[in-house]
Homo-oligomer: A and B are copies of this chain.
Amino acid sequence: MESRRAESFSDGVFAVAITVLVFNLLPIAHQGITFAELTARWPQYAGYAVSFLTIGIMWLNHHTMLSHVAKVDRITLVLNTFLLMGVVAVPFPTALVADNLAHGTALASTRVAAVVYGLVLIAISIAFSAMWVYLAAHQGTLGARPIRTPRQATIRFSAGLAGYVVGTLVALVSPVAALVIYAVIAVYYLFEHLPGPEDAAIEGGTESGEDAGSCAEIADAGE
């Protein structure tokens, strides 16, 4: 299957998953609520923001990853399905953490919630790393554009995974601190994500446009 098709379906799943996050806010609305009550629900907004950024970043990385290959094989699709299974699940631990924090339930309960959140993020990170390692190892078969800095990219993925492991361990002590760590990881990746062919083209000027013929440019513009 062409990587574009898999990407287009995945894009749809990412778009829906990121929007599902608002469903954690809707129950707050379905009550005649005062300003004080609204502000007391801050964990819901914090959870919304952190998970939104996290899924947004994951979408970016997913796109960058698939932009290196022209085709995807069955193994890639299987790995991709597990990756999406994790991404779609994100609103669940988000609600778990936010509800526990907002309702001031016992700390033990909130810790469990923050750990579950971390575990889901770890699972997604592992799926990402597995897919990246697989794609990098099969560049030839899948018609990949050469990955310029495979090592650096692998290190970046590992850094994210390590960060989520640390966050999950911290969650055993302080759920709020864990949430802060997840947020920091998301913000970090906003500015330090995987370099892709397109990024390379932008960073290196417009030389990519030069080695392509005139028809290609028009086809590009026509789309």
Query: Residues on A close to B: CB < 8 A?
Result: 1-2, 4-5, 8-9, 11-35, 38, 48-49, 52-53, 56, 59-60, 63-64, 70-71, 73-74, 77-78, 81, 84-85, 88-89, 91-96, 99-100, 103, 105-106, 108-109, 112-113, 116, 141-143, 190-191, 193, 196, 198-199, 201-202, 206, 209, 212-216, 218-223
Contact = CB atoms under 8 A, between A and B. Distances in A.
B33 A109 contact: yes
A53 to B, nearest CB: 7
Contacts of A91: 22, 26
Copies of this chain, count: 4
Contacts of A103: 32
Given A9-B14, A88-B19, A201 B81 contact: no
A64 to B, nearest CB: 8
Contact of A30 (B27, B52, B74): B27
A94 B28 CA distance: 12
A198 B214 CA distance: 22
Contacts of A94: 29
A74 to B, nearest CB: 7
A68 to B, nearest CB: 13
Given A16-B19, A18-B13, A30-B95, A198 B88 contact: no
Given A19-B88, A81-B190, A223-B223, 11 more contacts: A12-B14, A13-B15, A13-B18, A18-B84, A22-B88, A25-B92, A29-B93, A32-B105, A33-B100, A35-B112, A52-B88
